[in-house]
Amino acid sequence: MDSVLPFSFFSEFDINLFKTGKHYRLYEKFGSHITTVDGVEGTYFSVWAPSAKSVSVIGDFNHWVEGKHQLYVRWDESGIWEGFIPNIGKGSVYKYKIHSNHNDIKTEKADPYARRCEHPPKTASVVWEDSYNWEDVTWMKKRKKHNALDAPYSIYEVHLGSWKKKIEENRSLSYIELSDELVSYVKEMQFTHVELMPVMEYPYDPSWGYQITGYFAPTSRFGYPEEFKVLIDKLHQNDIGIILDWVPSHFPEDSHGLGCFDGTCLYEHPDKKKGYHPDWKSLIFNYGRNEVKSFLISNAIFWLDQYHADGLRVDAVASMLFLDYSRENGEWEPNIYGGRENLEAITFMKELNEEVYRSFPDTQTIAEESTSFPMVSKPTYLGGLGFGMKWMMGWMHDTLQYFAKEPIYRKHHQNDLTFSMTYAFTENFMLPLSHDEVVHGKSSIIGRMPGDEWQQFANLRLLYTYMFTHPGANLLFMGAELGQREEWNFQNSLDWYILQYTYHSGIQKIIKDLNVLYKKHPALYQQQFSTSGFEWISYDDHENSVIAYIRKGIKEKDDLIIVCNFTPVPRTNYRIGLPGKGELIPLFNSDATIYGGSGTSNQKEIMIEVKKWHYRKYSAEITIPPLAAVVFKINN
């Protein structure tokens, strides 16, 4: 052993928390930490490898030779190996060489807790620390109101590698470049939040970041960790929240990753029926192992704590919830009660959400969950999973299916459109038009719209207006706001050049204005997850394919009236029932000429009559433009 000193960051209390699955700040202990021991500066290393007979730190400082810097195993049967190596500092490249007691296997592993990783395809860890001085104190003090469930939530989903590229250099933008260009664009477009597809280090570009090997390191593809902090800081300084995609559902089998870490199934479940994902050819975490649970919850807390993230969108929740997910009979085993639910994963998710909201009550967790599993976004004390919000996959599927139909047939399928309101308030739903809807041959969003070019874009404007006025928060994947015709390709930049064309620039303009409308009017967000925030006026005019509804604020004066026409036939002298007397004032029209529409519109003030209609005492006659939605306000 050469120049390794016995040293520890762990107290007996830390070890007890780790063993019981209750240590949620493991990143402060595990990994590589620059420190000083007896007046000598160096780096403390610690790693969990309970089945190892020896663990060596190998790296550029010892020519990658095993045994020169061998760590000490703790006496307390925690399985932790640790030690202090003098004169090793920031920028040193390293891995752990683990000699297993299990079949004499030897592995070379990246540090699970590394703060920085080498640029792929290189796979080693890098000793790193930064003393970044955050300048988002104003945001952090007031973000509770921005991230609250009664606040506007309009999210722009982004894949950093393909949002915009330096064409002449054939490269993606850096974190620093994004902190200028992406931030200014999102601010101009009036989105409230950005959601980043996974930025944790990943080896394989076509995975889009969903196959993670460096859970505590922002990918080095775009710069250093502190440069990623600059991007987040700039978003916050411009009153834009940031949601990070987080993947606790599975991890890849790459030799330097978490799989078979110490020669055994350490992080993954040893039973392939629970530990291997057949769809993604990846490994599934062992949620019943306390140390793994601590690793995952610590990782979630890390991004909220060290990177000031405003929330986590948790990927593939359904795959964690169910033992039979994507498995045939005989490929899974029931739980102890004979059911298909993964009880250990459910417990993990509840503990995750409890700790997130305990430590960071001004953030949100959002579940990407595609089934009817109950109470995903209800508090754990009521028996729920404890997420703040859940993606409304049913709305997305039914709505896109409806819009793909030729308008002449829509009268037979109006229930596809209105069905979402039968369950809209069973969860705190977020309406997603995400990256998953514009890949793998599904076509772009505009590509699904029927009709000629004018009708396609009118349909798209109608879809977006319906989405923004439907109860719930909103998420739109990059490129959708341009009306991009091509499917998303992670290797290419968005087709920014199409903005020279009127219809495409009109789509960009309407998204901006919808964001303004959404943020300006409390009726669209104050009660977006409550039955108190919505009321039908008419949902049964199948023949004309028209629906009308009220979005309600806490104050009656804030209520909005929304009327949608899903056919290319303008509806003139169309009477709707109304909740009160006064004048009907048009606020928004998706058919406006500034968006590329026909310009069919209403007069600036429409007198409300005392005439019963739609079971209401008051009503008015309006014009509904072709393939359009109109938003009104009542002026009493």
Distance CA 326, CA 274 (A): 12
pLDDT-based confidence at 273, cuts 50/70/90?
Answer: very high
Segment 240-265 shows an average pLDDT of 97
User: Would the pLDDT of 61 be above 60?
Assistant: yes
Task: Tally Cβ neighbours within 10 Å of residue 420.
Answer: 20
Burial of 541 by CB count in 10 Å (0-12 exposed, 13-18 middle, 19+ buried)?
middle
- What share of the chain in percent tops pLDDT 70? 100
What is the reported pLDDT for 168?
A: 81
The answer to whether the CB of 571 falls within 8 A of the CB of 627 is no
| Pairing state between β 311-314 and 364-367 | parallel
Band the pLDDT of 636: cuts 50, 70, 90.
Answer: confident
**What gap in Å lies between CA 358 and CA 366, rounded to an integer?**
16
The amino acid occupying position 617 is K
pLDDT at 1 over 50: no
User: Which of the following is catalytic: 14, 310, 315, 427?
Assistant: 315
Classify residue 573 as left (phi > 0), alpha (psi -120 to 50) or beta.
left
Domains and CATH numbers, the chain: 1-147+176-186+208-302+325-363 (2.60.40.10), 531-635 (2.60.40.1180)
* N- to C-terminal Cα separation, the chain: 84
Amino acid in the structure at residue 438: V
At 62-82, the pLDDT tens digits run 999 999 999 999 999 999 999
Q: Measure the CA–CA gap between 7 and 37, rounded to whole angstroms.
A: 8
368 is catalytic: yes
Residue 104 designated active-site:
no
CB 284 within 8 A of CB 277: yes
Catalytic residue among 14, 233, 368, 481: 368
Closest CA to 510 of 628, 401, 623, 400: 628
Q: Residue 233 class from Cβ within 10 Å (0-12 exposed, 13-18 middle, 19+ buried)?
A: buried
- Residue 240 in this model has a pLDDT that exceeds 80: yes
Q: What is the pLDDT of residue 170?
A: 82
Residue 161 phi/psi, 5-degree rounding, is -70, -20
Average pLDDT on 608-631 reads 96
- Count of beta carbons in the 10 Å neighbourhood of residue 621: 17
CB 561 within 8 A of CB 633: yes
**Which stretches of 324-387 are assigned E, i.e. beta strand?**
364-367
Kindly tell me the sign of the dihedral angle through the C-alpha atoms of 168, 173, 179, 185. positive
Q: Is the pLDDT of residue 258 over 60?
A: yes
Confidence band (pLDDT; 50, 70, 90) for 2? low
CA–CA dist 151, 362 (Å, integer) = 12
Average pLDDT over residues 343-358: 98
Which pair of structure tokens corresponds to residue 37? 């021991």
> Looking at the predicted structure, is the pLDDT value of residue 368 above 70?
yes
Q: Bridge-partner residues for 549, per DSSP? A: 536, 562
Residue 23 vs residues 186, 285, 294: alpha-carbon distances, Å: 37, 17, 5
Longest Cα separation, the chain: 92
pLDDT of residue 252: 97
Q: How far is CA 635 from the centre of its chain?
A: 39
pLDDT band at 349 (very low <50, low <70, confident <90, very high): very high
DSSP 384: S
pLDDT digits (tens, 9 = 90+) for 149-192: 999 999 999 999 999 999 888 899 999 999 999 999 999 999 99
pLDDT tens by residue, 460-478:
999 999 999 999 999 999 9
Q: What is the pTM of this model?
A: 0.96
Query: What mean pLDDT do residues 417-428 have?
Result: 96
Per-residue model confidence as pLDDT tens digits over 498-515: 999 999 999 999 999 999
Identify the sign of the CA torsion 386, 389, 393, 399: positive
User: Which amino acid would we find at residue 451?
Assistant: G
